[in-house]
């Protein structure tokens, strides 16, 4: 008996990052076990489903539950930024008006950067994988993790795998991927606890700041959640330089 034909699959754009080098940028044939769902087929080959936006099977846009038949051709696309794909059925969720994040334990420095830009970003050094997936789903947060297995959990709808291991480069990736520059509100959120910041006078923070700071500064911000006080020191100047760089990169795209 002749074996049933496999399925032809091609991944586009950044989805190739999850493939071995010899399979990047080209169509390849894969054997099928039964008639798997599109989601299961894609993830068996590498890419996690939250990084996928459009799937075409034999030229027709389908959802993740579509069953793949032997002999089919499957084309898998990441989110589009410069093409209008609204008429096409998308498997990815619509963009959030105000993005919110949850990050895994390994991205502690990245969470500080996102909070510095004003984005609601949850992080703890003891989040278990199931808690990350559940909170991402229940609170409609974008899960940022370098653990592909967590991104492949069925509960996760929004997610991204930072390619770089350097926090500043990870920030550039996330800002570009989710188009964050126009929605940044720098220095409006506590870097330490994620709480909102509000303006404060010197008399309101007296006793919570070093004496030398009280002598040099008259404008402060304080966190309503944890009580920390912030002022425009050299750290904030470095952060402002990073923000300016992000805006330049966005304009260059």
pLDDT digits (tens, 9 = 90+) for 97-156: 999 999 999 999 999 999 999 999 999 999 999 999 999 999 999 999 999 999 999 999
Residue with tokens 């696309």: 77
Band (pLDDT 50/70/90 cuts) for residue 249 is: confident
By the 10 Å C-beta count (0-12 exposed, 13-18 middle, 19+ buried), 160 is classed as buried
Nearest to 70 by CA among 44, 33, 45: 33
User: What average pLDDT is seen over the chain?
Assistant: 91
- 129-145 pLDDT, tens per residue? 999 999 999 999 999 99
Give the C-alpha separation, 84 to 69, whole Å: 29
**pLDDT above 60 for 200:** yes
Can you give the pTM of this predicted structure?
Answer: 0.90
Task: List helix spans (H) across 120-166.
Answer: 129-138, 148-151
């Amino acid at each position: 008996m002749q074996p049933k034909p496999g399925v032809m699959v091609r991944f586009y754009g950044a989805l190739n990052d999850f493939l071995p080098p010899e399979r990047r940028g080209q169509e390849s044939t894969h054997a099928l076990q039964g008639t798997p769902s599109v989601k299961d087929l894609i993830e068996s080959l590498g890419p996690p489903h939250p990084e996928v936006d459009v799937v075409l099977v034999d030229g027709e846009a389908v959802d993740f539950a579509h069953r793949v038949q032997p002999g089919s051709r499957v084309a898998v696309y990441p989110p589009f930024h410069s093409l209008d794909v609204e008429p096409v059925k998308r498997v990815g969720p619509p963009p959030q008006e105000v993005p919110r994040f949850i990050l895994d334990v390994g991205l502690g420095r990245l969470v500080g950067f996102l909070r510095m830009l004003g984005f609601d970003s949850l992080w703890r050094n003891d989040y278990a994988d199931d808690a990350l997936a559940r909170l991402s789903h229940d609170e409609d947060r974008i899960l940022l993790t370098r653990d592909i297995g967590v991104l492949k959990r069925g509960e996760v709808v929004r997610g991204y795998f930072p390619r770089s291991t350097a926090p500043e480069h990870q920030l550039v990736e996330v800002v570009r991927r989710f188009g964050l520059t126009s929605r940044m509100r720098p220095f409006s959120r506590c870097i330490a606890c994620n709480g909102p910041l509000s303006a404060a006078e010197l008399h309101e923070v007296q006793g919570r700041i070093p004496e030398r700071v009280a002598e040099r500064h008259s404008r402060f911000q304080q966190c309503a959640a944890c009580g920390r006080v912030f002022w425009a020191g050299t750290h904030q100047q470095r952060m402002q330089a990073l923000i300016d760089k992000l805006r330049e990169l966005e304009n260059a795209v």
